[in-house]
Amino acid sequence: MELEIKRNEKLSRNIHVTIPNNIIKQSVQKELLKLKDTIRVDGFRIGKAPLYILKNYYKKNIKKNILEKLIKEHFTKIIQKKSFQVAGTPEFILKNYEKGKDYNYLIKFEIYPNIILNMKDLIINVPKIHITETDVQKATQKFLKNNEWKTTFNYINLKNRVTITCINHNSNNSFKKYDLHNFQFIIGRNEILPEIERIILNKKVNESFFINITFSKHHCDKNIAGTTLKTEIIIKKVEKLKKNLKNYYNNQKLQLNKEQYQTIQNILHNQAKTIINNQIKTQITKYFMKCNNSIDIPSTIIKNTFLILKSKKINSYKKDKKNVFKTTYQQNLIEKSKYYAFSKILFNQFIKNYSLKPNWSTIQLLIKEIKISNNHEKKLIKLYHENKEINQYFNNIDLEQQIISTCLNYSIKKEKEYNFYEAEKKFCNTN
């Protein structure tokens, strides 16, 4: 699964930069004077070593550091002067420095395109999710269901839990490492390749059969991507939910105290907020993608997004003991990368057009929502002010919420009410 995408020429910018030699000399001289007051040289007290001795020891390293610093400073000034919005990391094409001469180098980068933020025809379907007593009961029952299965020798049906072994029968023995032993999944949850799930339905425990499986060219394991394997499937175990528990869940209420009830209600409330936000974000992104369907997306952003998604997928795959038969590892990350890249451009365009800035008051409320304890809240606030990644994480959440609010203010809203599990089934594709 590799990404081959050329640099977008419409968004491409090349800048030739010259740093005058007198600026380099002055900067080196200033650095040597600073160094003089801090460095001890054998035979001299601190601050008393002559500059020519310091030059012999340190000039090469100082010049290198000075050039790196000046290159960054010049680039920043040019970007500010030209009002470029740089997409991704620029490429610096540097030359060897020649003593006594001006220093020339080239910068290659892409810029963000402009997205038209016309919300005249934006219609947003806003789910209104209510947490009912039935939702709380169902959530509690889910916790209790985890180990309440019993073996069945009937034909396999939807919602049965099945354990299988997959043995590859190909002449190339290198594929034997992809054999799968005792993999457990629930029918109907899209956890395993659909061709395997379809053929397993209406089979019984201890049955075995052969199937030719063609793996997606987008599979995260490049050694298996696009190949076809003759695979033997052996059904090792079939289970179903205990009948007495089904009746109990359907007809009885679990007795929860006030604190337990409130805890589960809060969990569902937070999950509902996530579902609503994700639904609104998806609709906003798709609307603007349609309005700007001919827009050029910087290749740098697509590549960076692809590499992040690919890295996460491969790490998950390794933790999953390289289970090649899971559906999730078949996904086309290229299209997903383009979608996320456009989302990022859209995010930046809203910030620019509406002059959005992180709001510390709302960020504090967000930190309060996710706190585990008062002490934990203090640590999070401290991290927010000291750690760039944590700071950016909370800022992005707040800015994203501001963008959603802006779109809701300018759009036509259509609301529809759901209880939690209706919303989860409709919007999260769960069973």
The per-residue pLDDT for range 210-230, each reduced to its tens digit, is 999 999 998 999 899 999 999
**How far apart, in whole angstroms, are the C-alpha atoms of residue 112 and residue 105?**
23
Residue with tokens 């501001």: 402
* Alpha-carbon Rg for the chain in angstroms: 30
Backbone phi, psi, residue 130, to 5°: -105, 130
Question: In this structure, is the dihedral angle defined by the CA atoms of residues 394, 397, 306 and 93, taken in order, positive or negative?
Answer: negative
Residue with tokens 């680039």: 75
Two tokens at 200? 């397993």
CATH of domain 149-241: 3.10.50.40
- Could you list the beta-strand ranges (E) of 149-195: 149-151, 161-168, 180-186
Gap between the terminal Cα atoms of the chain: 30
Backbone phi, psi, residue 86, to 5°: -75, 130
Q: What share of the chain is helix, strand, coil (3-state, %, to 5)?
A: 50, 20, 30
Two tokens at 170? 């190909």
Report H helices in 112-224. 133-145, 194-200
Residue 271 burial (CB count, 10 A): 17
User: CA dihedral defined by 145, 263, 384, 365, rounded to 10 degrees?
Assistant: 140
**How far apart, in whole angstroms, are the C-alpha atoms of residue 78 and residue 75?**
5
Mean pLDDT by 10 residues, the chain (431 residues): 60 87 82 66 61 61 78 85 85 82 88 91 95 87 70 92 93 87 91 92 94 92 92 94 55 71 89 95 96 89 91 92 90 91 94 95 88 74 92 95 96 95 83 40
**Is the distance from CB of 339 to CB of 309 less than 8 angstroms?**
no
Residue range(s) occupied by CATH 1.10.3120 in the chain: 123-130+256-429
Residue range(s) occupied by CATH 3.10.50.40 in the chain: 149-241
Q: What pLDDT is recorded for position 219? A: 92
Q: Say which CATH topology domain 123-130+256-429 has.
A: Trigger factor, domain 2 (1.10.3120)
Two tokens at 235? 């059904």
Q: What pLDDT is recorded for position 387? A: 93
Q: Which CATH number fits domain 2-111: 3.60.21.10, 2.60.40.3470, 2.60.450.10, 3.30.70.1050?
A: 3.30.70.1050
**Is the distance from CB of 165 to CB of 231 less than 8 angstroms?**
no
Residue 58 burial (CB count, 10 A): 18
Cα of 264 vs its chain's centroid, Å: 27
Q: Exposed, middle or buried: residue 220 (CB in 10 Å: 0-12, 13-18, 19+)?
A: buried
Element (H, E) at 105: strand 103-111
Element (H, E) at 91: strand 86-93
Element (H, E) at 388: helix 388-410
**How far apart, in whole angstroms, are the C-alpha atoms of residue 131 and residue 272?**
8
Show Cβ contacts of residue 113 under 8 Å, excluding neighbours closer than 6 positions.
10, 11, 295, 296, 297, 298, 345
Two tokens at 282? 């998806």
